[in-house]
Amino acid sequence: MPRILTRDPSWLCAPAPTKFFRSEEQSKKQTSLDVRCDGPNRKVAHRGTELFVAAGNELRWSELSLLKDVGQDHERRHGRDSWNEQDEDDERPYRVLKTPVSRQITQLSVSPSGDYIAILTSHTCHVCILPSSSHLRTQESSPLRLKSFQLGPTAHVLEQAPLVCAIWHPLAPSGDCLVSVTHDACIRLWELDSENRSSFDEPTLAVDLKKLANATSTQADFSASKYGTNKGFSPDDVEMQVAAACFGGQGREDEHGWASMTLWVAMTEGDVYALCPFLPSRWQAPATLLPSLSTSVIDKSRALGRDLEASATERRMVDQQCKWLAEVDAQEPMLYPGQTEFDTVEVYSRPSGLSAVPKLQGPFQLSPEPDFSEITNIHVIAPKIDDEALYDEDNEDADTEGLSVGIICLATSTNEVHVCLDVNGVEAEWLPSKRSRAYALDDTDDLKELVLFETIDLAQSEAEDDGWPTFTSSPTDRYELCVTHPMGVCGLSFKPWIGMLEDELSAPSDSGAGFRLGVVLESAQTLVDQPIDIPTEPDRGVNTAVAILDPSIGYMLLTSATNVPYATILDIPSSTNAFEPDGPEVAGALPAIEPRAPYRPAPEFDQPSALPNLIKTANARRSTTGDLKAQVRFSPATLQLLTEAHRIMSTETHRLGTVAADLFRRCERMRSELQEQVRKVAEIAQRVDAVTGNEEDDDSFDANADEDDGGENLVGNEKIEYRMNVAHERSIELNERYDALRKKMMRLGGRQLSAREKAFGEEVRRLEKSVLPPDEPPAGSEDEESLSTSPGSTLAGRFDAVMSLQQTLVQQATDAAAQAEKEGDGKKAMDMKASSSGLGSDYRKQKIAQVMALLERETALVEAVMERLRRLQKG
């Protein structure tokens, strides 16, 4: 987890920001801490730096910058420790958003696009259209009524099963697809359209997991039951009670293709199921989704074609995946605007060749099986994409850090987190179109396993306090996770072991893999930190923390318990902020103060006593108890009054004693921390004195001191200055000796050649070898250099060859003319002689002209080279 910078900023602890999290009724009376929680509390949501908080049945809006300005202004005017009632008259740093919700709000969820907010109660769900940020930031402080729609007027009502959660689909094109999950294992998919009111009345897809678990073909009816339908008893009504649900990915390009379209459902009893693919009618595909799926499906199809022992279920699953991908590839995608104005996303329609409802995969068996309590929440980290299979060439820009298997985290009511690995992976799978008459064992025995990697105990205490832990994903790294439990917020980081585990999983050799994996499982441990600690009794009303990343605020974790905000500002990782200065490393040399939350006065100090009300009541009953100021009369009424007074006084004094003891312990801890800081500073001062020499006495004598110092001992700064002067004089002496040696070498060896002069000399030597004839090598020596420099390769050799060729041609022409003259007879002989002599004369003249031209060129080249050599020699 990142380093903690600040715990509970002072501006958030001011009265005005605190009122933002507290309703009016709770401001007047103290709420009980021991409230039974039967579900998750998600009463805090955010859109960027905008906060939405549910206070009772009221929805409020504010912004972190606004809360910060109001809190700092209050601190400047009244100080940190002023908690007077006059602060109630200050301007409210929030705005009330009116909604038709009449029951207490339990969960809030803002859509990825920021256009909708889902408001959940125990049984109902309302979707409101959020105005723009600029409209909410106006100076107007009056309540603003939002345009809202009730989701499922006949599906999510008090007569139906309670709601568990409502999550937004990560592959929805505009972020307006909501998935509602009820306690009776019914899942409904809503494709919302503000212009079409019927989209809020009826879901586009409704599935009853209990029916789907027992279905054998797509012809069965596994739709969710309608309102007013009589339901019979089933054993699945107990074993398939949903505790939480989530999607296996967030729609990123570095995730496995099937992850973002997989819906994971965790049951209260400990079973885990998966639906893949679970898509709306229109869904967006990241750039790497379809290529990665096509590559994996084609490879699996080829492998099954060579495997003669493959089961019919495996072959049917691969055939269905190929058919589904073929239908998607045949579509012409529609282009929708992306997150930026220059970005676009491809949107496809859900294939109609296969059923829109996939097969229910599971239940997943945990191996080894832990001691299960009730499951409260589930979080899935998608496996990374296989870059080697997707890209033909090495992709240097790809992020190689990650795990090729999925991580499933299960939170329990005993404040434990089970970290499991999905080694086999979840892929798309559908039921057969028709029920097979033949009974196949592999069709019914569909057991899948999750490897239990680690169990983390968040409570770290012997007392098992029941709670409802929930997960919050980190905005900086998907392998970091925040868990909200009754004692605060814990941070989990899986980075210490994902690298080692991935190296073992990707190793090509299987020899000794079991032993190495065992070592990894024993040595690997998740890094656990607690950035937020709630300094009260374990509270079952803690809200799920939200993680906000903003340049102006930083990386903030924010939650609330008993309507009091608790926040921690963390250090932004270097991967997120590349221009972060190196100040923390420099400051780390000094004793760092551990960030600690500021002290908040306990509400018991300001809570009025109930004894005055008792006295007023007793004065109203003077006929039975008499005047309290008069002499006490011994009677049953007086005894009852004293008993009630004692009960009130003992309760209030015990409560005050508890908070006073907590304040005393805090003071003692601060005193011990101050003593530790003083001790560390003293140690640093002693080390500084040891370096400077101030720890020595002034009248001490150093027998080894230099004679120039007269045997006196140097102390303090004189010692440091003396050492610096000696080192400075030594460096000057070494520099002078170096300069003298350099000048001496320059006088002996002459001026050094530059790089251009060396290159010109090398060029002259090469030209000399090509012009002048080679030296005759000694007899019996045939080295490579003499063999490579043949006579014909030099200019002089080429000239000698031309001269010998000329002599040969002239001699051949003379011999031919003499022979023709001897053999000639009469006119025929004369004609032949004239003809032959004429032909020989022309041929000879032509060859001689060519030879003379070559000689002129070679002569000019030789003269030019000799002239250049002569100039160089003179220079």
3-state secondary structure 629-685: CCCCCCCHHHHHHHHHHHHHHHHHHHHHHHHHHHHHHHHHHHHHHHHHHHHHHHHHH
Report the candidate in 521, 491, 517 with the shortest Cα–Cα distance to residue 506: 517
**Backbone angle region of 653, left / alpha / beta, with phi > 0 → left and psi within -120 to 50 → alpha:** alpha
**Chain centroid to CA 58:** 34
CA distance 43 to 61: 12
pLDDT in tens, 320-353: 999 999 999 999 888 887 766 667 888 999 998 8
pLDDT of residue 465: 57
Residues 6+ apart with CB under 8 A from 149: 126, 127, 128, 197, 200
Is residue 240 within 8 Å of 185, Cβ to Cβ?
Answer: yes
Per residue in 156-167, is it b (16+ CB within 10 Å) or e — as a string? Answer: beeebbbbbbbb
Query: Mind listing the pLDDT tens digit for each residue in 831-875?
Result: 555 554 445 567 778 888 888 888 888 888 888 888 877 777 665
Contact 300, 386 (CB under 8 A): no
Domain ranges of the chain: 605-691, 790-874
In this predicted structure, what is the pLDDT of residue 128?
A: 94
CA 650 to chain centre: 53
Distance separating alpha carbons of residues 509 and 672, to the nearest angstrom: 55
Dist CA 410 CA 654 (whole Å): 39
Q: What contacts 234, CB < 8 A, 6 or more positions away?
A: 210
Mind giving me the DSSP string for 188-217? EEEE--TT-THHHHS-SEEEEHHHHHH--S
What's the token pair of residue 618?
A: 């007793």
Q: Which of 252, 292, 507 is nearest to 387 (CA)?
A: 292
My answer on whether omega of the bond before 363 falls inside 30° of 0, hence cis, is yes
**Cβ pair 126, 148 in contact under 8 A:** yes
Question: Which DSSP category does 175 fall into?
Answer: S
Nearest to residue 603, comparing CAs of 546, 559, 539?
Answer: 539
Residue 728 φ then ψ, to 5°: -65, -45
Q: What integer pLDDT is reported at residue 438 of this predicted model? A: 46
Overall size of the chain counted in residues? 875
DSSP string, 350-397: PPSSS-SS--EE-PEEEES------EEEEEEEPPBP-HHHH-SS--TT
Strand partners, 128: 117, 148
Low-confidence ranges of the chain (pLDDT < 50): 27-36, 83, 85-86, 88-89, 394, 396-398, 438-445, 463, 538, 576-589, 697-711, 778, 781-788, 836-838
On the CB side of 16, CA atoms within 13 Å amount to 26
How far the first Cα of the chain sits from its last, in Å, is 73
HSE (side-chain half, CA atoms, 13 Å) at 177: 19
Name which of 487, 482, 484 is nearest 459 in CA terms: 487
